């Protein structure tokens, strides 16, 4: 995967658009649905805003310069820069946080968000993670 090309300010600006899009989705359909529904709606919302978004992007893991056949998939990759890990769970667990931190490190990305849509207000389920930001 390519390394980050946007400046920190551009990443922050894009992060604001992502947050707004996620809030729009959450307000429209509310909590309690499957993660796949939120993923589909968020992709639609971001594309309406002319934001490039890719689904289930593979992250290759290497050990001693050899690829490992463990498939890691980023839920959404926005503008080839920001990782979005989506959840629709009662509680965010440490393993969910470790997942996005791992994706950031393995893909050499600076910014990611763990978004849990199963909350009354989305700001309660929106968590930012950074890697050398």
Determine the Cα–Cα distance for residues 15 and 53; give it in Å rounded to an integer.
13
pLDDT tens digits for range 62-120: 889 888 877 789 999 999 999 999 999 999 999 999 999 999 998 999 999 999 999 99
- CATH number given to 8-130: 3.40.1350
- Quickly state the pLDDT bin for 52 (edges 50, 70, 90): very high
β-strands 111-116, 82-87: how paired?
parallel
Q: How far is CA 130 from the centre of its chain?
A: 12
**Among the listed residues 103, 114, 118, 131, the one whose alpha carbon sits nearest the alpha carbon of residue 26:** 118
Residue-level pLDDT at 62 = 80
- Quickly state the pLDDT bin for 3 (edges 50, 70, 90): low
Q: What is the mean pLDDT of residues 38-58?
A: 97
Residue 4 has pLDDT above 90, yes or no: no
Average pLDDT in the chain: 93
């Amino acid at each position: 995967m390519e390394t980050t090309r946007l400046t920190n300010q551009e990443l922050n600006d894009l992060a604001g658009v992502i947050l707004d899009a996620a809030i729009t989705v959450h307000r429209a359909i509310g909590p309690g649905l499957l993660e796949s529904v939120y993923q589909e709606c968020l992709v639609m919302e971001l594309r309406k805003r002319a934001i490039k978004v890719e689904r289930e992007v593979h992250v290759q893991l290497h050990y001693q310069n050899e690829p490992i056949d463990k498939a890691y998939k980023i839920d959404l990759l926005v503008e080839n820069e920001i990782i979005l890990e989506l959840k629709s769970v009662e509680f965010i667990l440490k393993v969910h946080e470790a997942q996005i931190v791992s994706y950031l490190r393995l893909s050499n990305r600076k910014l990611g968000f763990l978004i849990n849509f199963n909350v009354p207000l989305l700001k309660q389920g929106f968590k930012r993670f950074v890697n050398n930001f």
